[in-house]
Structure 1
Amino acid sequence: MNVTLHELTGKQIRVVPMDKNHILGLYEAAKNENIWTHLPKTIITQHDMEAFVEEALQAKESGAEFPFVIIQRETDKIVGTTRFLYMSSASRSLEIGWTWFHPSVWGTSVNTECKYLLLQSCFEQLNTIRVQFKTDERNIRSQKAIERLGAVKEGILRNQMIRKDGTFRNSVLYSIIDSDWPSVKQHLEQRLKLAENTK
């Protein structure tokens, strides 16, 4: 899938295509061990982050992925990252994954706005008909966040990958398809408006 996207701008955040200039900001945002509990890798050093970004940019160059950083507009600081994965022109589908945020924005509407901007670009610019999400069966917080988006739980992928500790991971699979998007869009806009009004 040929993805050409520039900055996606919301009221709270900017979702910006990742580049090497983001390494230090990402490293600063990643300095909390709780971020990495359910993710396949753990970033500890700046060198780890350099390798993480280099790998993401190589995947972008090959057309396999499209990584972003998430910048909080109020502070102009990076608060997380996400990316498009498994992009398929033939099936007009992709996955949104590798999402993590600094704990300072956990429980806020930052993830909602991030996913709203990404989904809007998928269904209204990229002509996507399916967007999927996967998360560790143990990661209840992530499952609840995905379900709050309005995604449909499709099932469990058993032994889908091996965790860092060597245990086998079952992954929960969710999707939003093109016919879901109008109602999901309205739902997310209502959630964002409510969050703004309760500030």
Structure 2
Amino acid sequence: MSSAITLEKNLVKLVPLKETHVEPLWPIAQQVDLYQYGSNDISTKNKLKAYLMTALNEAQQGKAIPFAIYNTSTNACVGSTRFGHIDHKNKVLHIGWTWIAPAVRGTGFNHQMKFLMLSHAFEKMGFEKVEFRIDERNIRSRKAVEKLGASLEGTLRKNIITKDNFRRNSCCYGILKQEWAGIKQTKFKDFI
């Protein structure tokens, strides 16, 4: 499966992540703290480069499809996201590693982006399940995933080390392929 895909609809364009995205992503990285709720630290340019290289290495191994996120109305890079933990045998993948500029949060931008990704995962890639794992304390992200129609399936206890060696609990959400048509009609009707 090729990881060189571009997804676009209305305001959102997801382009294949490249090493050259360090420069446009750096100003956004300075505005977000991934390490607050996750295991990734992008607080310096070198750490951001390492983060991108990890994503690109996983893409080469067929384990991830990372994207840079663009706002099509401004043509500005506004963040990054990816398909990860791609399990081709069982047809399950995760959507995550998502971080976007504070300026586009709460504008429906993330919802539109997730529509593109979910549509692609179920309708083009033929996957049976999409999962999301979110820090139990990250209420904003949990509500956003619930708004997509994902079901809370359980909590992994103390499975990820975050900032200051805090061991977080990860809430596991999922959407099944058989649920997608109904979710698409109810949660994403404006994008169809």
Q: In structure 2, what residue type is equivalent to 1:49?
A: L
CA contact (8 A) 2:55 2:66 kept: yes
RMSD, aligned α-carbons: 1.6
Structure 2 residue 76 is the aligned partner of structure 1 residue 80: no
Q: In structure 2, what residue type is equivalent to 1:22?
A: H
Q: How many residues align?
A: 192
CA contact (8 A) 1:112 1:149 kept: yes
Secondary structure at the residue paired with 1:86? strand
Deviation string, structure 1 residues 11-65 (Cα, Å, up to 9, x no partner): 0010111011211111122221455421322222222221211111111111121
CA contact (8 A) 2:122 2:177 kept: yes
| Unmatched tracts of structure 1, length 5 or more | 194-199
Secondary structure at the residue paired with 2:14? strand
- Within-5 A mapping of 1:115-130: 115-130=114-129
Q: Distance in 2 between matches of 1:120 and 1:132?
A: 14
- Within-5 A mapping of 1:38-187: 38-187=37-186
Secondary structure at the residue paired with 1:180? helix
Deviation string, structure 1 residues 110-159 (Cα, Å, up to 9, x no partner): 11011000000001100000000000001000100000000011011111
| Unmatched tracts of structure 2, length 5 or more | none
Q: Distance in 2 between matches of 1:40 and 1:25?
A: 22
CA contact (8 A) 1:65 1:84 kept: yes
- Within-5 A mapping of 1:3-42: 3-34=2-33, 36-42=35-41
Q: CA deviation at 1:188?
A: 3.2
Could you state the TM-score of these two structures normalised by the residue count of structure 1? 0.90
Which segment drifts farther, 29-38 or 86-95? 29-38
Could you state the TM-score of these two structures normalised by the residue count of structure 2? 0.93
Q: In structure 1, what residue type is equivalent to 2:189?
A: Q
Q: CA deviation at 1:170?
A: 0.6
CA contact (8 A) 1:116 1:188 kept: no
Q: Distance in 2 between matches of 1:35 and 1:58?
A: 20
Which segment drifts farther, 44-53 or 72-81? 44-53
Secondary structure at the residue paired with 2:118? helix
Taking only the aligned residue pairs, the percentage that are identical comes to 35
Q: CA deviation at 1:161?
A: 1.6
Secondary structure at the residue paired with 1:32? coil
CA contact (8 A) 2:92 2:128 kept: yes
Q: Distance in 2 between matches of 1:82 and 1:113?
A: 13
CA contact (8 A) 1:123 1:129 kept: yes
CA contact (8 A) 2:38 2:160 kept: no
Q: Distance in 2 between matches of 1:60 and 1:174?
A: 23
